[in-house]
Amino acid sequence: MEEIPKTHPRYTSLMARKKISQSTKNGIVHETGLIAHGRGEAFDYLLGEKTMPQSDMAEKVAAAVLLCANNPVISVNGNVVSLVAEDCINLADTLPAKLEINLFHRTKKRIEKISKELSNYGAKKVYGQKADVKIPGLEHNRALCDREGIFSADVVLVPLEDGDRCQALRNMGKTVIAIDLNPLSRTARTASITIVDNVTRAISNIERWVHELKNIDKNELNNLIETWDNEKNLSEMVSFISKRLNSLF
């Protein structure tokens, strides 16, 4: 594949495309993952490809929720592993949290490949291969999960989720933290905390917040969590996009 010069104005975006494209060839990303990535890119373009103050705040609250959790799990799919495997492993180690593979287009081969990729990046234990239980109310393969992982988690961080599973996880009484560049998606609107940001910026920023907040009094963390208004934050993101579009020309 052609080398992308670092001076290219769209270097970061092109590098992400290159990673995703390579990962479709080695079976980590399903071909439909390219479409999901494209939708994400479009929204990132509208946001100016940077972390907004509202997203940074959502990342701070997500860090607080993860620090207060009893059994936090980070749910990963092919796109996430292709783009930010190391960031997910670092966040899981720092908290600590479990890592679980959850795929819409689930095959034994893909699960093995993704698991191997995570191990190559240094993951000690990866959940999701066993998938011995189902999330109630879901028909598709994303229902399959690990009893010791997502099924019994109190908090699930789901970068790149689909709305159905997000709702099903909420119905199980879990706190769901979603990372989704589209503030209008069903996922964004059903999650407990929605981070409208690119996973390539969001995961490492949550980890930065975990380091900043880890020695803070639990009452203060709880206060931060209790005052979070997800709907207000989403509406501010939509309003930012609309103002930005109106001010461009």
Residues in the site for ligand ATP, rule: CB under 6 A?
A: 36-37, 39-40, 43, 83, 160, 162-163, 179-182, 185-187, 198-200
Long-range contacts of residues 179-188, Cβ cutoff 8 Å, at least 24 apart = 179/203, 180/40, 181/39, 181/40, 181/41, 181/43, 181/44, 181/47, 182/39, 182/40, 182/43, 183/43, 183/234, 183/237, 183/238, 183/241, 184/238, 186/162, 187/158, 187/161, 187/162, 187/163, 188/234
Q: Which is nearer to ligand ATP, 104 or 228 (CB)?
A: 104
Q: How far is the CB of 206 from ligand ATP (least distance, A)?
A: 13
Q: Which is nearer to ligand ATP, 99 or 191 (CB)?
A: 191
CA angle 210, 195, 174 (to 5 degrees): 80
Q: Which is nearer to ligand ATP, 82 or 175 (CB)?
A: 82
Cβ-proximal residue to ligand ATP, closest one: 40
Q: How far is the CB of 180 from ligand ATP (least distance, A)?
A: 5
Q: How far is the CB of 9 from ligand ATP (least distance, A)?
A: 19
Q: How far is the CB of 42 from ligand ATP (least distance, A)?
A: 8
| C-alpha atoms less than 13 angstroms from C-alpha of 216 in its C-beta half-sphere | 19
Q: How far is the CB of 26 from ligand ATP (least distance, A)?
A: 19
How far apart are alpha carbons 232 and 234 in whole angstroms?
Answer: 5
Q: Which is nearer to ligand ATP, 37 or 60 (CB)?
A: 37
Amino acid at 148: E
Q: Which is nearer to ligand ATP, 75 or 221 (CB)?
A: 75
Structure tokens belonging to residue 114: 């993704």
